[in-house]
Amino acid sequence: MSLTDAEVRNAKPSDKVQYLFDGAGLYLQINPNGSRWWRFKYRFEGKPKLLSLGVYPDVGLKGVRAAHTEARKLITNGIDPSAKRKQSEAATKQMHEIVRRIAEGIPLENSFKAVAAEWFDKQSHTWVEHHSKDVQRRLEVNIFPYIGTRPIAEIEAPELLAAIRVIEGRGAYDLAHRVLQVCGQVFRYGVATGRCKRDPSPDLRGALAPHKKKNQAAVQPEDLPDLLRAIAGYDEIGSRQTRLALQLLALTFVRTNELIGAVWTEFDLDKALWLIPAERMKMRTQHVVPLCSQSLRILSELRLIAGKSIYVLPGRNPAKPISNNTMLFALYRLGFKGKMTGHGFRAVASTILNETGFRGDVIEIQLAHCERNEIRGAYNRALYLEERKAMMKWWGDYLEGVASGAKVIPLHGKAA
Task: Using pLDDT thresholds of 50, 70 and 90, give the confidence band for residue 12.
Answer: confident
Indicate whether 61 pLDDT > 90.
no
Per the domain annotation, does 260 fall within a domain? yes
Q: Is 379 a catalytic residue?
A: yes
Q: Name the phi and psi angles at 268, rounded to 5.
A: -110, 90
Given the residues 282, 297, 372, 381, select the one marked as catalytic.
Answer: 282
Residues 270 and 380 in one domain: yes
Segment 94-101 mean pLDDT:
61
What pLDDT was estimated at residue 403? 86
Q: Name the phi and psi angles at 119, rounded to 5.
A: -60, -45
CATH number for the domain including 10? 3.30.160.390
- Pairing type for strands 47-55 and 36-44 reads antiparallel
Per the domain annotation, does 213 fall within a domain? no
Distance CA 175, CA 138 (A): 8
Task: Using pLDDT thresholds of 50, 70 and 90, give the confidence band for residue 396.
Answer: very high
Distance CA 165, CA 209 (A): 9
Residues 283 and 375 in one domain: yes
Per the domain annotation, does 415 fall within a domain? no
Q: Name the phi and psi angles at 21, rounded to 5.
A: -95, 135
Residues 94 and 50 in one domain: no
- Tell me, what amino acid is at 359? R
What pLDDT was estimated at residue 104? 58
Q: Which of 204, 232, 266 is the last residue of a domain?
A: 204
Q: Is 56 a catalytic residue?
A: no
Segment 338-363 mean pLDDT:
88
Residues 194 and 232 in one domain: no
Residues 26 and 144 in one domain: no
Q: Name the phi and psi angles at 34, rounded to 5.
A: 100, -10
Residues 118 and 200 in one domain: yes
CATH number for the domain including 239? 1.10.443.10
Indicate whether 161 pLDDT > 70.
yes
Per the domain annotation, does 215 fall within a domain? no
Q: Do 251 and 296 touch, CB atoms closer than 8 A? A: no
Indicate whether 213 pLDDT > 60.
no
Indicate whether 415 pLDDT > 50.
no
Whole-structure pTM value: 0.53
Indicate whether 363 pLDDT > 60.
yes
Segment 162-188 mean pLDDT:
87
Residues 377 and 252 in one domain: yes
Per the domain annotation, does 416 fall within a domain? no
Segment 68-86 mean pLDDT:
83
pLDDT tens digits along 46-57: 888 888 888 888
Q: Is 96 a catalytic residue?
A: no
Residues 198 and 106 in one domain: yes
Indicate whether 404 pLDDT > 50.
yes
C-alpha closest to that of 138 among 96, 172, 188? 172
Indicate whether 278 pLDDT > 90.
no
Least confident span in 47-61, 118-132, 178-192: 118-132
Q: Is 9 a catalytic residue?
A: no
What pLDDT was estimated at residue 283? 67
Task: Using pLDDT thresholds of 50, 70 and 90, give the confidence band for residue 33.
Answer: confident
Residues 38 and 99 in one domain: no
Distance CA 202, CA 360 (A): 31
Residue 391 vs residue 9, higher pLDDT: 391
Per the domain annotation, does 10 fall within a domain? yes
Indicate whether 217 pLDDT > 60.
yes
Given the residues 138, 150, 243, 255, select the one marked as catalytic.
Answer: 255
What mean pLDDT, rounded, does the chain reach?
84
75 CB-near residues (< 8 Å, 6+ apart): 42, 44, 81
Residues 36 and 138 in one domain: no
Indicate whether 314 pLDDT > 80.
yes
Distance CA 26, CA 38 (A): 7
What pLDDT was estimated at residue 374? 44
Distance CA 252, CA 396 (A): 9
Distance CA 218, CA 40 (A): 45
Segment 6-11 mean pLDDT:
86
Q: Name the phi and psi angles at 49, rounded to 5.
A: -135, 155
Per the domain annotation, does 412 fall within a domain? no
Indicate whether 73 pLDDT > 50.
yes
Domain of 239, in residue numbers: 221-403
Q: Which of 48, 79, 110 is the last residue of a domain?
A: 79
What pLDDT was estimated at residue 411? 46
Q: Is 369 a catalytic residue?
A: yes
What pLDDT was estimated at residue 240? 95
Given the residues 93, 320, 337, 369, select the one marked as catalytic.
Answer: 369
Indicate whether 93 pLDDT > 90.
no
Residues 179 and 228 in one domain: no
Share above pLDDT 90 across residues of the chain, in percent, rounded to a whole number: 39
> Number of structural domains, the chain?
3
Distance CA 309, CA 114 (A): 44
Task: Using pLDDT thresholds of 50, 70 and 90, give the confidence band for residue 92.
Answer: low
Given the residues 138, 243, 287, 346, select the one marked as catalytic.
Answer: 346
Given the residues 343, 359, 381, 389, select the one marked as catalytic.
Answer: 343
Residues 335 and 227 in one domain: yes
Per the domain annotation, does 214 fall within a domain? no
Q: Which of 150, 170, 204 is the last residue of a domain?
A: 204
3-class secondary structure per residue, the chain: CCCCHHHHHHCCCCCCCEEEEEECCEEEEECCCCCEEEEEEEEECCEEEEEEEEECCCCCHHHHHHHHHHHHHHHHCCCCHHHHHHHHHHHHHHHHHHHHHHHHCCCHHHEHHHHHHHHHHHHHHHCCHHHHHHHHHHHHHHCHHHHCCCEHHHCCHHHHHHHHHHHHHCCCHHHHHHHHHHHHHHHHHHHHCCCCCCCCHHHHCCCCCCCCCCCCCCCCHHHHHHHHHHHHCHHHCCCHHHHHHHHHHHHHCCCHHHHHCCEHHHEECCCCEEEECHHHCCCCCCEEEECCHHHHHHHHHHHHHHCCCCECCECCCCCCECCCCHHHHHHHHCCCCCCCCCCHHHHHHHHHHHHHCCCHHHHHHHCCCCCCCHHHHHHHHHHHHHHHHHHHHHHHHHHHHHHCCCCCCCCCCCCC
What pLDDT was estimated at residue 133? 81
Task: Using pLDDT thresholds of 50, 70 and 90, give the confidence band for residue 306.
Answer: very high
Distance CA 401, CA 39 (A): 67
Task: Using pLDDT thresholds of 50, 70 and 90, give the confidence band for residue 211.
Answer: low
CATH number for the domain including 173? 1.10.150.130
